[in-house]
Amino acid sequence: MTLLTDPVFTRFAEVLGYSMIKQNIRAKKIIMVLRTSYNEQLQRTLEKVGWQVKVVDLIPQPGKQASTARFRTMFTKLRVWSLTDECDRAIMMDLDTITLKNFEELFYILPESTRFAAAPDNFFGKYKFEINAGVFVCKPDQEEFQRLTIAMNDTSKYDHNLAEQAFLSNYYGLNILRLPFIYNANAAIEKFNKADWVQMESQIKIMHFTVDKPYPTVTKTGPNTYWYNAASEYDEWSKNSTQIKL
């Protein structure tokens, strides 16, 4: 499951979708697309790499807006809890991630008493108790969705600049099952905690490009080489592939 808020990020969606095909992820792949961004050509592009498109409306950020503009649409990720007809377990992944190994065990990791799992954050080299919401596991539930969309309005309890990530960290608190970094390999670790990165690099299942995102202007070094290699493979694959049968 992922969220596309702006067609400019379509390339990220294509590479992420391809990386899951390559790693034989058999689960349903749902991409939520903002109604204001949707068009039929976008849908055809996304379906080619296995995405099932779900058109959704924006959940605007409550209260003061995040200083980073792209964070302001991220509360729309909460809609994953409303998709009870599509799934009973969901792994939510940001578009700036790719799959390096199969991760489907995450669908079975939540015990009955726990509703949310995520890895801790690494913020410019500092390991945080709060989670990084680039990858999380949850159980879709309409009542939980209603509770979340009410609770988010109490903006005094979390940092508005970190948007849905800060909200979910506060909302679930000690009831979060904390995942190892191999399921959300934050590129900040490579930049600021290189010894830790070296120890886990061969085990990484989901890589998250949090620092220098693989835009055309960014140097193709470090963790970004994984993304550029996947993108190159995808381009070759797409020349000969037909639309994935959903």
Output the domain CATH number for residue 112: 3.90.550.10
Instruction: Confirm if 230 and 15 have CB atoms less than 8 A apart.
Output: yes
Burial class of residue 105, CB neighbours in 10 A (0-12, 13-18, 19+): exposed
Q: How far is CA 65 from CA 41, 94, 160, 208, in A?
A: 31, 20, 7, 24
* Cα–Cα dist 129/57, whole Å: 31
> Domain for residue 96, yes or no?
yes
> Domain for residue 142, yes or no?
yes
Closest CA to 176 of 126, 106, 122, 120: 120
> Domain for residue 204, yes or no?
yes
- Give the chain's length: 246
pLDDT tens per residue across all 246 residues of the chain:
999 999 989 999 999 999 999 999 999 999 999 999 999 999 999 999 999 999 999 999 999 999 999 999 999 999 999 999 999 999 999 999 999 999 999 999 999 889 999 999 999 999 999 999 999 999 999 999 999 999 999 999 999 999 999 999 999 999 999 999 999 999 999 999 999 999 999 999 999 999 888 887 777 889 999 999 999 999 999 988 765 554
Structure confidence at residue 246 (pLDDT): 46
For the chain, what is the domain count? Answer: 1
Owning domain of residue 6: 2-240
Structure confidence at residue 244 (pLDDT): 57
Kindly give the pairing relationship between strand 116-123 and strand 176-178: parallel
Helix (H) or strand (E) holding 164: helix 163-172
> Domain for residue 169, yes or no?
yes
> Domain for residue 245, yes or no?
no
Please, what is the end-to-end C-alpha distance for the chain in angstroms?
A: 15
> Domain for residue 246, yes or no?
no
* Cα–Cα dist 88/90, whole Å: 7
Structure confidence at residue 10 (pLDDT): 96
Structure confidence at residue 216 (pLDDT): 78
> Domain for residue 124, yes or no?
yes
Structure confidence at residue 169 (pLDDT): 98
* Cα–Cα dist 102/137, whole Å: 15
